[in-house]
């Protein structure tokens, strides 16, 4: 096995035993990036010098007691990294170099992480296919004609192609879980407030959450352990103790109650995906879980609520990109002309669409009918999850209604693109944690190559431990997560 194919756990064991150095591990990843990234386009920026400097420093210290020490990571280009270009995949931030790093990036650096570079994504995390990036398309390593999902598509593709051992993503409506599902890796969206968002370029602040993307559930637990917790710089993080996420992974799941929400098995879902997910549910039943059907009656309104709340917050957050303070400037003659041209040329079509939608739903006369109404339905959705999750331990659903679709297929039809997140969006609206794990393969309707299918487990507020445990036990009994693409 090549070093770049290792999991974090395996690499940490090898580093401790001095079987190889962090520099060797880093070089294996850099070589894989050089060999494959022209085809894949997973990275916007590769930080080779930084990575090797960091690796050498960790080797010199020789202390691998922290599980992420000396391990190469890729970071979605939405996290500020001091001295390293951070673009959010937008022309408007094409040459932006932040003076500080996001809290989570600092936490990784404290652990001795090795940063390989910044990964491609949909512009300002708006999309489900990484097609809205200003820096070109990331391809799915399982079929180069298909999308890797989005918005954290670069991070997901990089892991699936063994260019890195793990990555950081963000998830506002599914951007960690959906690409994880489409690329056959693990992706966790923690509870809102569990991980700091400081220094992460904001999309929709009441929905955004940072999370790990890895090859195994065990690795996700390791990364979450390193990044979770209170941050004085993010007032939405909570002073709740961070549990030991590894401690419970190996406990069996006999007797655990898992709910299957009936609203999630609806028309529009690819039958091949449904079959795969039903088989995974049977597997969990064999492992001793008690499966019961439950109902989340307001779930069907999730998408509608999201497409009011998200653009409203997005339009507010993006107001700061005005061509005056930082980033691209059209340098027009008058201030007003400069705003117009900077934003008109600097933002892509999908961003401009969402800014218009958001500004409209917040404007006087429309606010009550749109934003306020959506906020009320949001509470109903949240209550559904809370009520149901008092009776059961976690919920199980597909992550995405289809396997990876073809590049270009949905770009002219935003509504069908938005439907790609139908199973992930309500989770952000409710603020609860959810994980996507590899659960098998299915043939797309329009192709012969079997593509990955992901399974989503949804937990109670701040109870990442239970979904990690169920997911880990499933991985102990299956080998889907070990399958590799041969692109």
Active site residues: 76, 151, 175
Rule CB under 6 A: which of 67-86 touch ligand GLN?
none
Cβ-based neighbour number of residue 35 at 10 Å: 11
Does residue 130 belong to the site contacting ligand GLN (CB under 6 A)? no
- Closest to ligand GLN by CB, 127 vs 438, is 127
Minimal distance, residue 484 CB to ligand GLN, in Å: 26
Q: Interacting stretch for ligand GLN, rule CB under 6 A, among 104-112, 171-179, 249-257, 327-335?
A: 171-179
State which of residues 41, 98, 112, 174 lies at the interface with ligand GLN (CB under 6 A).
174
For 381, residues 6+ apart whose C-beta sits below 8 A from its C-beta are 296, 298, 299, 301, 302, 305, 426, 429, 430
- Closest to ligand GLN by CB, 46 vs 224, is 224
DSSP 404: P
Does residue 29 belong to the site contacting ligand GLN (CB under 6 A)? no
For 49, residues 6+ apart whose C-beta sits below 8 A from its C-beta are none
Q: Give the strands of the sheet with 290-294, arranged side by side.
A: 43-46, 114-119, 72-76, 166-171, 209-214, 186-189, 434-442, 451-458, 394-398, 257-261, 290-294
State which of residues 37, 77, 162, 171 lies at the interface with ligand GLN (CB under 6 A).
171
Minimal distance, residue 72 CB to ligand GLN, in Å: 24
For 128, residues 6+ apart whose C-beta sits below 8 A from its C-beta are 122, 147, 149, 150, 151, 174, 175, 178, 410, 417, 418, 420, 421
Does residue 151 belong to the site contacting ligand GLN (CB under 6 A)? yes
Q: Interacting stretch for ligand GLN, rule CB under 6 A, among 105-113, 119-127, 386-394, 444-452?
A: 119-127
Three-class secondary structure of residue 139 per DSSP? coil
- Closest to ligand GLN by CB, 249 vs 422, is 422
Quote the tokens at residue 213.
């993307």
Rule CB under 6 A: which of 311-370 touch ligand GLN?
none
Does residue 464 belong to the site contacting ligand GLN (CB under 6 A)? no
- Closest to ligand GLN by CB, 116 vs 310, is 310
- In b/e form, how buried is each residue of 202-227, taking b as 16+ CB within 10 angstroms? bbbebbbbbbbbbbbbbbbbbbbbbb
Minimal distance, residue 210 CB to ligand GLN, in Å: 11
- Closest to ligand GLN by CB, 76 vs 107, is 76
Residue 40 phi, psi (nearest 5): -90, -40
- Closest to ligand GLN by CB, 59 vs 421, is 421
Distance of alpha carbon 376 from alpha carbon 367, whole angstroms? 12
Q: Interacting stretch for ligand GLN, rule CB under 6 A, among 30-38, 134-142, 167-175, 247-255?
A: 167-175
Rule CB under 6 A: which of 390-449 touch ligand GLN?
421
State yes or no: cis peptide before 151, omega within 30 of 0: yes
Does residue 126 belong to the site contacting ligand GLN (CB under 6 A)? yes
Minimal distance, residue 119 CB to ligand GLN, in Å: 14
The three-point CA angle 407-409-415 to 5° equals 125
Strands 290-294 and 257-261: parallel
- Closest to ligand GLN by CB, 109 vs 303, is 303
State which of residues 15, 113, 186, 203 lies at the interface with ligand GLN (CB under 6 A).
203
Q: Interacting stretch for ligand GLN, rule CB under 6 A, among 166-174, 217-225, 269-277, 362-370?
A: 166-174
Does residue 172 belong to the site contacting ligand GLN (CB under 6 A)? yes
Three-class secondary structure of residue 90 per DSSP? coil
Q: Interacting stretch for ligand GLN, rule CB under 6 A, among 40-48, 120-128, 157-165, 370-378?
A: 120-128
State which of residues 98, 148, 154, 173 lies at the interface with ligand GLN (CB under 6 A).
173
Does residue 182 belong to the site contacting ligand GLN (CB under 6 A)? no
Does residue 131 belong to the site contacting ligand GLN (CB under 6 A)? no
- Return the CA Rg of the chain: 21
State which of residues 127, 148, 358, 485 lies at the interface with ligand GLN (CB under 6 A).
127
Does residue 138 belong to the site contacting ligand GLN (CB under 6 A)? no
The three-point CA angle 28-29-35 to 5° equals 90
State which of residues 36, 87, 128, 196 lies at the interface with ligand GLN (CB under 6 A).
128
DSSP 236-271: TS--PPPP-TTTTTTS--TT-EEEEEGGGS-TTS-H
Minimal distance, residue 129 CB to ligand GLN, in Å: 8
Start-to-end CA distance of the chain, whole Å, equals 17
Cβ-based neighbour number of residue 376 at 10 Å: 10
Minimal distance, residue 253 CB to ligand GLN, in Å: 28
Quote the tokens at residue 222.
């390791």
Distance of alpha carbon 341 from alpha carbon 335, whole angstroms? 10
Minimal distance, residue 182 CB to ligand GLN, in Å: 12
Minimal distance, residue 473 CB to ligand GLN, in Å: 27
Q: Which residues bind ligand GLN (CB under 6 A)?
A: 125-128, 151, 171-175, 203, 310, 421
């Amino acid at each position: 096995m090549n070093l770049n194919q290792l999991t974090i756990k395996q690499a940490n064991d090898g580093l401790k035993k001095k079987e190889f150095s962090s520099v060797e591990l880093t070089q294996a990843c850099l070589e894989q990036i050089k060999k494959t990234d022209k085809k894949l386009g997973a990275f916007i920026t590769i930080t080779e010098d930084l990575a090797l400097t960091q690796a050498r420093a960790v080797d010199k210290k020789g202390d691998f007691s922290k599980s992420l020490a000396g391990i190469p990571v890729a970071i979605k280009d939405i996290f500020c990294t001091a001295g390293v270009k951070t673009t959010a995949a937008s022309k408007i931030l094409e040459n932006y170099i932040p003076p500080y790093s996001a809290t989570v990036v600092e936490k990784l650096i404290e652990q001795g992480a090795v940063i390989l570079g910044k990964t491609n994504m949909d512009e300002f995390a708006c999309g489900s296919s990484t097609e809205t990036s200003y820096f070109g398309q990331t391809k799915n390593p399982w079929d180069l004609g298909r999308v890797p999902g989005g918005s954290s598509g670069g991070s997901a593709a990089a892991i699936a192609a063994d260019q890195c051992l793990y990555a950081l993503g963000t998830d506002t409506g599914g951007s960690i879980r959906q690409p994880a599902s489409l690329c056959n890796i693990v992706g966790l969206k923690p509870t809102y407030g569990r991980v700091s968002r400081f220094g992460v370029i904001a999309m929709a602040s009441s929905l955004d959450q940072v999370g790990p993307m890895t090859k195994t559930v065990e690795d996700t637990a390791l990364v979450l352990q390193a990044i979770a917790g209170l941050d004085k710089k993010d007032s939405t993080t909570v002073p709740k103790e961070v549990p030991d996420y590894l401690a419970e992974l190996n406990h069996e799941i006999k007797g655990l109650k898992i709910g299957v929400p009936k609203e999630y098995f609806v028309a529009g879902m690819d039958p091949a995906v449904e079959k795969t997910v039903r088989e995974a549910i049977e597997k969990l039943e064999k492992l001793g879980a008690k499966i019961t059907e439950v109902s989340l009656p307001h779930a069907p309104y999730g998408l509608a609520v999201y497409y009011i709340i998200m653009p409203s917050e997005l339009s507010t957050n993006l107001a700061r990109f005005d061509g005056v303070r930082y980033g691209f400037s059209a340098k027009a003659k008058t201030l007003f002309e400069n705003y117009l041209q900077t934003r008109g040329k600097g933002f892509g079509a999908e961003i401009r669409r969402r800014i218009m939608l958001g500004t409209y739903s917040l404007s006087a006369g429309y606010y009550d009918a749109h934003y306020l109404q959506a906020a009320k339905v949001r509470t109903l959705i949240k209550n559904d999850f809370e009520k149901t999750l008092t009776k059961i331990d976690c919920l199980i659903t597909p992550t995405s209604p289809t396997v990876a679709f073809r590049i270009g297929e949905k770009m002219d039809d935003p509504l069908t693109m938005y439907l790609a997140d139908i199973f992930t969006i309500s989770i952000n609206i409710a603020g609860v944690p959810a994980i996507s794990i590899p659960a098998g393969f299915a043939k797309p309707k329009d192709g012969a190559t079997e593509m990955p299918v992901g399974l989503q487990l949804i937990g109670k507020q701040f109870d990442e431990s239970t979904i990690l445990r169920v997911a880990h036990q499933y991985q102990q009994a299956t080998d889907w997560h070990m399958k590799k693409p041969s692109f």
